[in-house]
C-alpha cells in the first residue's frame, strides 16, 4: 500500500480552472494580468512536490519524537530545520507577498492551495511557517514605515519566523482579560512584561530570530478589549543581543507534536507599537482572519491525507463477500466502506472548492481596481471566514475519524499511521477561536450585525447558480430550499431576539452549519454541472465527479434537515428550559 | 477543580428504581426473589467506591506508562496488579455468576452498572476483567462437565482471567478466513497451531493463568465460518507446565495503553473443544454478545467520566460575558458551553437507561420461569444489542470530544487529563465487531431477517408508552412519528431489496441510528414522565431531569430528520450511482 501523500493536482486543476475559472478572474486584476492556468498549475505542481517529497516524510518522526525543551531552548524534530531551509530556498514563504518586499506577488489562492498540501503532508511542521502570511499582512497594513523596513523583507523571505502572542492563562477566548503590560520608553519603544501561553512556534531552532506580535495593555489603557494594543517584540534585537522574551516550557499535547506550543515570559522586553494604541485587536484581526482561513485549509488537508490512506487501504484489503458477490472481496466493494469513503470525498472536494473560492476573494479584495468592489469582496470574505474555519475543521476531524474506521482495528495501532491525523486534526476545532466562537461571530456579527445584508449578498450568488437551468435539477431544488430556510431563519431569529436576546446564541452553531451546507452544496452544484458538461472528455473522471455531486446531496446534505428542525423548534416554541444548575438568571438570583 | 470520578449513584437509583422498576421486575423471578432496591443500591455504592477509589486513580498512570513487553512477558502499569487483587478479594468478578460456581448470583443489571463505572474510572484496566463474564457464560452454556469443573470456579472468582482469541492478520471482520489449526489427539484433547492478533489481555502479570478461548479449524473442516470450532487453551496446564501459547508482542495504540493488546503464537498448544465441532462461532457468540453489551457500557462510562470533568471545569472557569450579563462569567453560563454539556448529558442519561434496560433483559432471559418469555426476552436482547454497541459507542466518542471542547486549548494538553478519554473511547467503535458490522447485523438479521417480527415487538413496547397520556405530549408525538417512520422504512426496504439486493446495506447505518434514537427517545419519555410525577419531592433534581428530557427532544432527537431524509431519498429515487472506481459490478466486468 502506498502511504505517500499524493498532491491532488488533478482536482486543483478542476477546482481552479474549470469550476472557479480562477485564471480569468485573476487576469482581470492589473496585479495578476500575466496569470494563466499553466502558470498556476506549474506552481502547484512544484508546491505539491515539495510537500510530498520534503515535508511528508517527516510527519511520522515529528509525531514520535516531538519537540524538546531544555534550558529555555526548543529543539524541533530531526529534519524539520533542513526542510524549513529548503522551504525558504524555494521561495515558498514569499509566494503571495508583494514584490516590493521581496515577494513573488503570486495570487493568494495559490497560497491557500500550498497550505492545504503542506498541512496534509505534515501539520506539525506547517505550524511554523503557517503564521508568516498573517504576520506579513498585519505589518503591511498597520506597521510603521520603520517597522516595515526592518521586518517585512525578513518575514517575506521566511528568514525570520513570526508568532501571534494572544492567550494568557486567564484569557483564552476572552482577550479582554489580558494582563501583559507595555510601558512606553523615551526612545519611542516600549517594554513588555507578562506571561503568554499556547504560543505556536514561540521558541524553536528553525530561524535565528522570531518576530513576536504581542497583545498588551498600556499603563493608562481602559479595562477590557478596548484597552489592548499590538506590539512587535523580536527575540533578538538589532544589535544582536537577546530581548527579554523567554520560553518557560512547551506543552505535551494530544497531537501536532512537531509544533512547539510555548509558554513565553516577557520581562522588560523591548517592543514597538503596531498600529494605533488601543486598536490592537483590530490590527491583530488582520492576522487572525488570515490564520482562520489557513485553519480551514488545515482541516481540509488533514482530511485529504487521511482519505488517501483509507482509500488505498480499502483497495488492497480483502474481507468477506460484498452484496451480490461470491468471493473474498476488497473492502472498497463493501457498501459500508464505500459510504465511509464517499462521505469523506464529498466533504473534502467541496471544501477544496470553498477554500479556493475564499482564496480568490482575498486576491479580489486586495487587487480589484474598484474600491467599492474591493470592499464587497472583503465583506464576502469576512462573512465566509468563520464558516470555513469551523465547518471545515469539524469536517476535517470527522473525516480523519472515518478514515481511521476504514482500517478497522489496524487503524487504532500507531504504526499504521492513520490515528495521528485524527489527533492532529482535533486542535483545529479549538485554536484561532474555538468553533463555538466562530458560530457566535458568524451569527451575531456577520448575519445579524448588518441585518442580513452580507447574508443576502452571499445567498444572491448561490441563487444565481441555482437559477441556471443546466442539469442536476433535483440537487438545485434541494439547495434552493436550504437557501430559503437559511434566509427566513435569519429574519425570524432577528425578530425573536428582540424578545429573547439570548436565543440567537442557542442556535448559532446550527446556523453556521446550515450556511456551511449551503456553501458546500453550492460548490457541488457548480462542480456537478461542470462535470456534466465535460463528460465526453473523460467519462470516467467526470462521471465520478457527477456521481459524487449526487451522493453529496443524497447523503451529506441531509444534515440540513436536522439543523432546520432544531432551529425551527427553537423559533416555534422558544428555547427548551435549561436545568437550573445551568441557568444564568437563576444563578444571578441565587447570588 | 475536582478531577475525581463520582459514581452517578443518584442517577442509577432513578434509572433502576424509579423508571425501570428493576426491584419489582427482578423479584418476580424466583432466582432474585430477595432483591430489593436497598440491596441494589448498596451493591452499587460499594461498586462505585471501588471504581472511584481503587481503579480511577490508576487511569492517568496507565495511559502514561502503558504496558511493557519483554521476552514474551507483559508487565502491566504500576498499581494494576494490586487493584486487580482487590477486585477479586471484593468478590466483584463473581457478582452475577451462579452460586453453584462460587458466584454471588446477583442480577446482571448490576453487573452492567458495575462495568459502566469501572470503564468510566479506568477503561484500560477494565479491559482485563471485562471478558470474564462472557467467558463464564460461554463455558457455562457450551463447556463439557469436565471443562466446567476445571475452569468455571476459577473464572467466576477472577483467579484466572480469560481471553477471546478470534482475529488473525488476514481475518478481522471476516472470521471465515481464520487459519489456526486444531489437530485431535488420542486423549481427546487437541493441539492448536496458528497466530492470533489483537488479543486483549493475551498476556499479563495479573493472574497466574489465562484461559484462552480460541476459534480454530479442525483438519477436515469446510472452508468459511462453518468450519470453525471453539477451543479452550490455558496458558498453564494442570500439571503446572507452560502450554504452547506465546505472546510475540503488544500493540502501540492510540489509547487504552493500560490494556495489553497481544499477538499470540499457538504452537502445538494443548486445548479442549468447547461445544460441538463446527459450531464454534455460535458458541463464541454467547461471549461476543455479552462483550458487545459491555462495549456499549464502556462508551457510556467514558462519556460520563469526560462529562463530569467538563461540567466541573465549566463551573470554575470564567471567560467573557454571557448574554444578558455584565460581568466575567463562568463558562457554564455561556449558551455554547451549555449546549455542549446538555448534548452530553442527554445522550449519557438516555444511554444509562437503555443499558440498564438491556441488563434487565439479560436477567429475564436467564431466569423467567416461563420458557416462552425467556425466549422473548432473549430475542429482545439480541435485537437491541447491535444498537447498544454501535449507537452508544459513537455517542461515547462524540461526547468525549465535546467534553474536550469545553476545556478549549487546555483540553488538548495531556496533563489536563481529558484527551485520554477521547483516545480511549475511539476503540469502542471498532472492536467486538465494527459499528458498520453492527449496522449490518441489525438491519439484515435482526430487522429484515424475521420480516420485522422483533422490530414490531420492540416498537410495541415503545408505542405502549407513547399511548400513555401523562405529560410530554409534544415529545410523545415526535417519538411516535419516528416509530412510524422506522416501521415503514423497514417494510419499504424489504420490498425494495427484492429488486435491489444491495440497497439495505447502504442504509443499514441510518436504520441503526434511527432505532437508536427511538430507543433513547423512549427512555427519555419514560424518564421525563417519572420526573413530572415526582416533581414535588425534589423540584430541583426532577426539574433538571424534565428539562433534560425536553432538551433531548428539541436538539438531540432532531437527527431523526437527517436519517429519515437519507433513507427516504434512497427509497424514493434509488441509490445515487457510485463513482466507477468504487463499483463492484464495474470491477467484476473489468476483471
| Stretch 158-217 of chain B: residues touching chain A, C-beta under 8 Å | 167, 171-174, 176-177, 198
Question: What is the model's pLDDT at position B2?
Answer: 45
CA distance A78 to chain B (A): 22
* Contact status, residue A251 vs residue A198, Cβ threshold 8 Å: yes
* Residue among A233, A235, A232 at smallest CA distance from A207: A235
State pLDDT tens for residues A353-402: 999 999 999 999 999 999 999 999 999 999 999 999 999 999 999 999 99
Mean pLDDT along residues B461-489: 96
Neighbouring CB atoms inside 10 A of B119's CB total: 31
B314 CA: distance to closest CA in chain A (Å): 10
Unique residue bearing C-alpha cell 434511527: B514
pLDDT in tens, A448-459: 999 999 999 999
B331–chain A nearest CA distance, Å: 10
Interface of A with B in 489-518 (CB under 8 A): 501-502, 505-506, 508-509
User: Does pLDDT of B470 surpass 90?
Assistant: no
DSSP A389-443: HHHHHHHHHHHHHHHHHHTGGGGGBGGGS-HHHHHHHHGGGTSSS-HHHHHHIII
Judged by CB atoms closer than 8 Å, whether chains meet at A558 and B566 is answered as yes
Coil, strand, or helix at residue B368? coil
CB of A65 within 8 Å of any CB in chain B? no
Above 80 in pLDDT, residue B588?
A: no
What count of CB pairs under 8 Å joins A to B?
255
Residue of B nearest to A253 (CA): B413
Cβ burial B405-420 (10 Å sphere, 16+ → b, else e):
bbbbbbbbbeebbbbb
Cell 457548480 belongs to A526
Q: Please indicate whether, in this complex, the C-beta atoms of B319 and A172 are within 8 angstroms of each other.
A: yes
Evaluate the CA torsion angle A34, A38, A41, A46 in order and state its sign.
negative
Which position among A116, A432, A559, A589 bears the catalytic label? A432
Query: In angstroms, how far is CA A340 from the centroid of its own chain?
Result: 23
Cα angle B413, B416, B422 (rounded to 5 degrees) comes to 75
Residues 389..418 of A with a Cβ closer than 8 Å to B: which?
Answer: 397, 401, 404-405, 408-415
**Candidate from B176, B405, B569 with C-beta closest to A434:** B405
Q: Which chain B residue shows the shortest CA-CA distance from A341?
A: B582
CB contact, 8 Å: A306 with chain B?
no
Burial class of B8 by CB neighbour count within 10 A (0 to 12, 13 to 18, 19+): buried
pLDDT band at A575 (very low <50, low <70, confident <90, very high): confident
Task: With CB atoms and an 8 Å threshold, state whether A408 touches B506.
Answer: no
What is the band of A287 on the pLDDT scale with cuts at 50, 70, 90? Answer: confident
Inform me whether the C-beta atom of residue A585 falls under 8 Å from chain B C-beta atoms.
yes
Q: How far apart are CA A440 and CA A505, in angstroms?
A: 7
The three three-digit cell numbers of residue B240, written as one number: 503446572
pLDDT of residue B388: 98
User: With a CB-CB cutoff of 8 Å, which residues 252-291 of chain B face chain A?
Assistant: 252-255
Contact indicator for A105, A98 with CB cutoff of 8 Å: yes
Q: How far is CA A32 from CA A57, A368, B379, in A?
A: 34, 10, 69
Residue B584 near residue A329 (C-beta atoms within 8 A):
yes
- What is the per-residue pLDDT for A1? 43
Contacting residues for A84 by C-beta, under 8 A, at least 6 apart = A125, A128, A129, A158, A206, A207
Interface with chain B: mutation pick from A64, A312, A336, A551, highest number of B CBs within 10 Å: A336
Instruction: In whole angstroms, give the CA distance from residue A436 to residue A430.
Output: 9
This complex has an ipTM of: 0.97
Going by pLDDT thresholds of 50, 70 and 90, the confidence category of residue A2 is: very low
Gap between the Cα atoms of A521 and B40, Å rounded: 53
pLDDT at B591: 44
Taking alpha carbons only, the member of A71, A422, A461 closest to residue A248 is A71
Q: pLDDT-derived band of residue A587, with 50, 70 and 90 as boundaries?
A: low
With CA atoms as reference, report the closest residue to B435 among A337, A45, A528: A337
CA atoms of B211 and B537, how far apart (whole Å): 50
Tell me how many degrees the CA angle B347-B348-B350 measures, rounded to the nearest 5. 65
Quote the mean pLDDT of chain A.
95
Scan for cell 470574505, then name that residue.
Answer: A381
Nearest CA-CA partner of A20 in A105, A97, A109: A109
Alpha-carbon distances of B474 from A63, A398, A569, B561, rounded to whole Å: 51, 32, 11, 16
**Mean pLDDT in chain B?**
95
| Per-residue CA distances from A59 to A80, A415, A427 (Å) | 10, 12, 16
pLDDT at A573: 85
Question: Residue A451 and residue A194: Cα distance in Å, rounded?
Answer: 40
Scanning A446-465 for CB atoms below 8 A from B yields: none
> A585: pLDDT confidence band, cut at 50, 70 and 90?
low
Distance CA A256, CA B426 (A): 18
What is the distance in angstroms between the Cα of B373 and the nearest Cα belonging to chain A?
A: 35
Percent of chain B with pLDDT over 90: 93
Shortest CB distance from B319 goes to which of A173, A255, A575? A173
Question: What is the predicted pLDDT for the residue at A591?
Answer: 44
Taking residues A212-234, report their average pLDDT.
96
For residue B474, list chain A residues with Cβ-Cβ distance below 8 A: 573
What stretch of H or E contains B202? Answer: none
First-residue to last-residue Cα distance in chain A: 62
CA B68 to chain centroid: 27
Contacts of A133 (CB under 8 A, 6+ apart): A96, A97, A111, A290, A294
Give me the pLDDT at residue A584, please: 56
Q: Which residue of B has its CA nearest to A418?
A: B254
Residue closest to B158 by CA, chosen among B245, B89, B261:
B89
Q: A323-336 in b/e burial notation, b at 16+ Cβ within 10 A?
A: bebeeebbbbbbbb
Candidate from B412, B553, B578 with C-beta closest to A547: B578
Nearest Cα of chain A lies from the Cα of B254 at a distance, in angstroms, of 6
Mean pLDDT of B461-481: 95
Cα angle, residue B353 at apex, residues B12 and B434 outer, rounded to 5°: 120
Model confidence at A405: pLDDT above 90: yes
Per residue in B349-387, pLDDT tens? 999 999 999 999 999 999 999 999 999 999 999 999 999
> Residue holding cell 496458558?
B235
**A266: enclosing H helix or E strand:** strand A261-274
Q: pLDDT per residue over A506-565, tens digit each?
A: 999 999 999 999 999 999 999 999 999 999 999 999 999 999 999 999 999 999 999 999
Contacts of A499 (CB under 8 A, 6+ apart): none
Q: Which domains does chain B have, with CATH numbers?
A: 9-142 (1.10.540.10), 145-278 (2.40.110.20), 438-576 (no CATH)
Residues A113 and A287: their CA atoms lie apart, in Å, by 18
How do strand A210-217 and strand A161-165 relate by DSSP bridges? parallel
Q: Contacts of residue B325 in chain A, CB cutoff 8 Å?
A: 584, 588
Burial class (CB in 10 A: 0-12, 13-18, 19+), B210: buried
Contact B555, B343 (CB under 8 A): yes
For the stretch B244-253, pLDDT in tens is 999 999 999 9
Q: Locate the chain A residue with the closest alpha carbon to B566.
A: A555
**Pair A569, A492: CB distance under 8 Å:** no
Please, which pLDDT band fits residue B585 given cuts at 50, 70 and 90?
low
C-alpha–C-alpha distance, residues A453 and A471, integer Å? 30
Are A578 and B551 within 8 A, CB to CB? yes
Amino acid at each position: 500500500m502506498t502511504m505517500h501523500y499524493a498532491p491532488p493536482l488533478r482536482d486543483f486543476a478542476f477546482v481552479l480552472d474549470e469550476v472557479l475559472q480562477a485564471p480569468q478572474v485573476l487576469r482581470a486584476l492589473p496585479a495578476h494580468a500575466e496569470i494563466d492556468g499553466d502558470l498556476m498549475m506549474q506552481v502547484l505542481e512544484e508546491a505539491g512536490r515539495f510537500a510530498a517529497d520534503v515535508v511528508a516524510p517527516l510527519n511520522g518522526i515529528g509525531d514520535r519524537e516531538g519537540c524538546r525543551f531544555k534550558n529555555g531552548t526548543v529543539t524541533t524534530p530531526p529534519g524539520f530545520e533542513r526542510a524549513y531551509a529548503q522551504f525558504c530556498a524555494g521561495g515558498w514563504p514569499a509566494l503571495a507577498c508583494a514584490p516590493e518586499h521581496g515577494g513573488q506577488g503570486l495570487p493568494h489562492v495559490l497560497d491557500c492551495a500550498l497550505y492545504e498540501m503542506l498541512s496534509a503532508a505534515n501539520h506539525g511542521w506547517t505550524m511554523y511557517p503557517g503564521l508568516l502570511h498573517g504576520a506579513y499582512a498585519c505589518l503591511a497594513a498597520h506597521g510603521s514605515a520603520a517597522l516595515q523596513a526592518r521586518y517585512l523583507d525578513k518575514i517575506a523571505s521566511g528568514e525570520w519566523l513570526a508568532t501571534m502572542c494572544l492567550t494568557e492563562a486567564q484569557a483564552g477566548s476572552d482577550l479582554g482579560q489580558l494582563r501583559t503590560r507595555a510601558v512606553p520608553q523615551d526612545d519611542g519603544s516600549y517594554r513588555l512584561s507578562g506571561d503568554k501561553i499556547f504560543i505556536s512556534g514561540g521558541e524553536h531552532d528553525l530561524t535565528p530570530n522570531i518576530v513576536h506580535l504581542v497583545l498588551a495593555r498600556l499603563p493608562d489603557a481602559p479595562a477590557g478589549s478596548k484597552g489592548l494594543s499590538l506590539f512587535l517584540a523580536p527575540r533578538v534585537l538589532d544589535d544582536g543581543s537577546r530581548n527579554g522574551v523567554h520560553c518557560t516550557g512547551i506543552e505535551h499535547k494530544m497531537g501536532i507534536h512537531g509544533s512547539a506550543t510555548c509558554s513565553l515570559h516577557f520581562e522588560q522586553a523591548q517592543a514597538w507599537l503596531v498600529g494605533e494604541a488601543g486598536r490592537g485587536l483590530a490590527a491583530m484581526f488582520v492576522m487572525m482572519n488570515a490564520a482562520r482561513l489557513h485553519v480551514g485549509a488545515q482541516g481540509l488537508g488533514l482530511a485529504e491525507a487521511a482519505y488517501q490512506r483509507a482509500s488505498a487501504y480499502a483497495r488492497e484489503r480483502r474481507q468477506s463477500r460484498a452484496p451480490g458477490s461470491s468471493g473474498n472481496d476488497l473492502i472498497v466493494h463493501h457498501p459500508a466502506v464505500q459510504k465511509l469513503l464517499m462521505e469523506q470525498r464529498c466533504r473534502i472536494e467541496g471544501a477544496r472548492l470553498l477554500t479556493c473560492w475564499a482564496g480568490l476573494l482575498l486576491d479580489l479584495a486586495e487587487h480589484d481596481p474598484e474600491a467599492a468592489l474591493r470592499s464587497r469582496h472583503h465583506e464576502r470574505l469576512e462573512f465566509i471566514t468563520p464558516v470555513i474555519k469551523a465547518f471545515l475543521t469539524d469536517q476535517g476531524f470527522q473525516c480523519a475519524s472515518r478514515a481511521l474506521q476504514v482500517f478497522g482495528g489496524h487503524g487504532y495501532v500507531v504504526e499504521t499511521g492513520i490515528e495521528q491525523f485524527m489527533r492532529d486534526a482535533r486542535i483545529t476545532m479549538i485554536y484561532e477561536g474555538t468553533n463555538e466562537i466562530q458560530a457566535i461571530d458568524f451569527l451575531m456579527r456577520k448575519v445579524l450585525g448588518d441585518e442580513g445584508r452580507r447574508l443576502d449578498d452571499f445567498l444572491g450568488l448561490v441563487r444565481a447558480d441555482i437559477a441556471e437551468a443546466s442539469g442536476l435539477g433535483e440537487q438545485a431544488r434541494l439547495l434552493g430550499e436550504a437557501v430559503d430556510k437559511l434566509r427566513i431563519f435569519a429574519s425570524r431569529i432577528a425578530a425573536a431576539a428582540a424578545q429573547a436576546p439570548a436565543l440567537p446564541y442557542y442556535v448559532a452553531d446550527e446556523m453556521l452549519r446550515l450556511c456551511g451546507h449551503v456553501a458546500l452544496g453550492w460548490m457541488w452544484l457548480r462542480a456537478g454541472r461542470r462535470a456534466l458538461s465535460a463528460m465526453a472528455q473523460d467519462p470516467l473522471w467526470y462521471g465520478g465527479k457527477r456521481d459524487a455531486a449526487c451522493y453529496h446531496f443524497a447523503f451529506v446534505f441531509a444534515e440540513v434537515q436536522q439543523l432546520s428542525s432544531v432551529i425551527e423548534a427553537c423559533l416555534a416554541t422558544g428555547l427548551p428550559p435549561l436545568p437550573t444548575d445551568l441557568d444564568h438568571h437563576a444563578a444571578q438570583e441565587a447570588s
